[in-house]
Amino acid sequence: MERVMSVMSYNVLAQVHIGKRYAALGEEVTSWDVRRPKILDEILRLGPDVAACQEMPIPKFQADLASPLAAAGYTAILQNDKNRAETHETANAIIFRSDLFELAYENHRSRTLVVALLPRFGPAAVIPGMDHIAAAQDEAEARVRTAAATKVADAGANAPPPDKRALKKLAKEVKTARNKAARAMRSAMAPHLVWLVCCHLQGHPAEVNTRLSQVRSSLHKGVLAGARTFDAAATLANLRLVYCGDFNDEADSLVYKLMVTGSVDAGEVQTFDGFDDVVVGKAATHDASLVSSYAHCTGTEPTVTFKAPNMRTSTIDFVFAALPHLRPLMVFDRLSTPEAIADVIRTSLPSAEHPSDHLPVCAVIELLARV
């Protein structure tokens, strides 16, 4: 074991979504000036090593959230989806302790943010980080150029004058040396990286196929494609992978099934109260051995993670971790008593105590050595 890491997922409820549904709760509960310090307190009180947050307010992110989190020792990465409409004001964010991790990779997708974090503790502490790659490339280039200059000097007066062919050959050797140096550095990092996906999947209940596609794309085009820039032989099965966020689907859904079984077939059907059945149009698969941290540790999911006014209680926020290189050890229940659970179910969120219509979910995960 290298050590453990704590991972939190939290949909903070973007202020732009505060509308008629929440009006009855009053400004003393719903205003941003009231909720912002409580959201920060919710994150900092738990003090996770990594937090995956959804519905972060883009215009106010840096000043209102990223700056105070930086003062507390965190680095924040805000999702920058190039296909996002200019009018879209919310995004995912991944926040990590600056003293424990270094950002090694990021991939900004629709509805998901993918990062790879290089631990700065345990065996990985001696692995040079991303900022050393350029220096290693420069050293490799210098060796090639020095060797070429030495060869010319040794030839003395008999050395032919440099021509286009010789210069082209030297440029190719330099490029090869620089690429080889970068590959060696990235290869050394590969076994130590922690891959993290923060998701906020499509929200409409009937958009099952869209949510399945978003998971499939984030795993294959986000995580796996990124992992293969460090190790060409990488598979999802041999990565340290955490996938968490707001799935907008519950534990009896096909999205949850895809996460924990790795397969949903075309033609499978998901049923809903109040909506037509949805038939899966395209099969989705992956080979990561994901388990829900809550189900793994307690045998069940939280009773509630989401309760907006006039909406039913639901559990749609999860923290999945991939065995065997990660292992959930314990989870945190924001509602610690039956009375607290009953109160949320009876009323709604946000409230004076809880600044979002979602509750945070948090897991402590053991990092196991990759062999």
User: Could you read off the pLDDT of 277-300 as tens digits, one per residue?
Assistant: 999 999 999 999 999 999 999 999
Contacts of 289 (CB under 8 A, 6+ apart): 237, 262, 322, 323, 324
Residue type, 59: P
Low-confidence ranges of the chain (pLDDT < 70): 1-2, 371
- 12: its two tokens: 């903070």
Give tens-digit pLDDT for 185-240: 899 999 999 999 999 999 899 999 999 999 999 999 999 999 999 999 999 999 99
pLDDT (0 to 100) of residue 156: 76
Q: Which fold has domain 3-129+194-367?
A: Deoxyribonuclease I; Chain A (3.60.10)
CA distance 56 to 164: 54
Q: What is the pTM of this model?
A: 0.93
Residue 283 and residue 290: Cα distance in Å, rounded? 18
Q: Is 284 exposed, middle or buried (0-12, 13-18, 19+ CB in 10 A)?
A: buried
pLDDT of 20: 80
**Predicted pLDDT at 182:** 83
**Spatial CB neighbours of 294, under 8 Å, sequence gap ≥ 6:** 300, 301, 302, 318, 319, 331, 361, 363
Which of 328, 333, 260 has the alpha carbon at shortest distance from 303? Answer: 333
Q: How far is Cα 321 from Cα 302, in angstroms, rounded to an integer? A: 16
Question: What local confidence, expressed as pLDDT, does residue 127 receive?
Answer: 86
Alpha helices in 65-132 (DSSP H): 67-71
pLDDT of residue 88: 79
Burial call 347-362: b when 16+ CB within 10 Å, e when fewer: ebbbeeebbbbbbbbb
pLDDT score for 2: 64
